[in-house]
Chain A
């Protein structure tokens, strides 16, 4: 039988893979995809808590809906910034972009 532990372990593994990607990737697009993997781990954990601990409530599902909305907004902004970045620096490698570094 599938228990809450299964879902929590899977969510933790997804969050850690996303964190690894955030640290390892150099390009902004790869970091964006890793961020979305972290969001998926969080969504899975929230839904599992909602389903197993409080099946009559909706707060985990509402949280997932909000996270999906914010992720869509954030992806649109990130791609717009990336296109500007590429126009200015001819690369999307985040190590090369050091305008605010001194």
Chain B
């Protein structure tokens, strides 16, 4: 098995696991299982980032998404069901048909656009390509400094707003 076949196989395994886990995160009844298959989706996408030679983004995805956000979601699920909600839901059936029709239609439209575009067969050309955190950090602090600062202010605002929302005695 040469390297190209291996990367192809790896891509298909990761794609199948991400689609499967996205479907099960959408359609499972139990929220806990939803969150767990959501973690599987995040890890598969991190693997796809790794396959594109972007190890920093993969690490960020695992640390912040799979480590932080899903823990937050699981914490919320446990806290809300500790307070006495039932741990299952009925899905909407009428909207399901409409939404499935709309998403299949738009997916077909996107597929037509993708397959008729000018660069469908573009391949990974640079063998020695590796995205380095050094270049990312430099451009984050030069070219994107304003957005970086706006994001840090956003995070501060979220910190204050969250603690204000869940404090005791809020009506």
* A residues with CB within 8 A of B: 1-10, 12-14, 16-21, 23-27, 29-30, 32-34, 36-37, 40, 43-44, 47-48, 51-53, 55, 58, 61-62, 64-66, 68-73, 75-77, 79-84, 86-87, 90-93
Contacts and interface: CB of A to CB of B under 8 A. Distances in A.
A12 B19 CA distance: 11
Interface of B: 4, 7-8, 11, 15, 18-19, 22-23, 25-27, 31, 34-35, 38, 41-42, 45, 48-49, 51-54, 56-57, 60-61, 64-65, 68-69, 72-73, 75-77, 79-80, 83-85, 89-92, 95-96, 98-100, 102-104, 106-107, 110-111, 114-115, 119-126, 129, 131, 135-136, 139-140, 144, 147, 151, 154-155, 158, 161-162, 165-166, 170
Contact of B124 (A2, A65, A84): A2
Given A17-B22, A29-B80, A64-B57, A4 B119 contact: yes
Secondary structure of the B contact surface, majority rule: helix
Given A68-B61, A71-B69, A80-B165, A20 B54 contact: no
Given A2-B11, A33-B38, A61-B136, A23 B57 contact: no
A23 B98 CA distance: 9
A12 B113 CA distance: 11
B10 to A, nearest CB: 9
B73 A47 contact: no
Contacts of B8: 1-2
Contacts of A36: 38, 65, 69
Nearest to B170: A84
B31 to A, nearest CB: 6
B154 A73 contact: yes
A25 B89 contact: yes
A62 B56 CA distance: 11
A4 B69 contact: no
A21 B21 CA distance: 13
B48 A14 contact: no
Given A23-B95, A37-B38, A70-B154, A3 B85 contact: no
B162 A77 contact: yes
Contact of A47 (B49, B95, B170): B49
Contacts of B72: 72, 75-76, 79
A10 B19 contact: yes
A75 B69 contact: yes
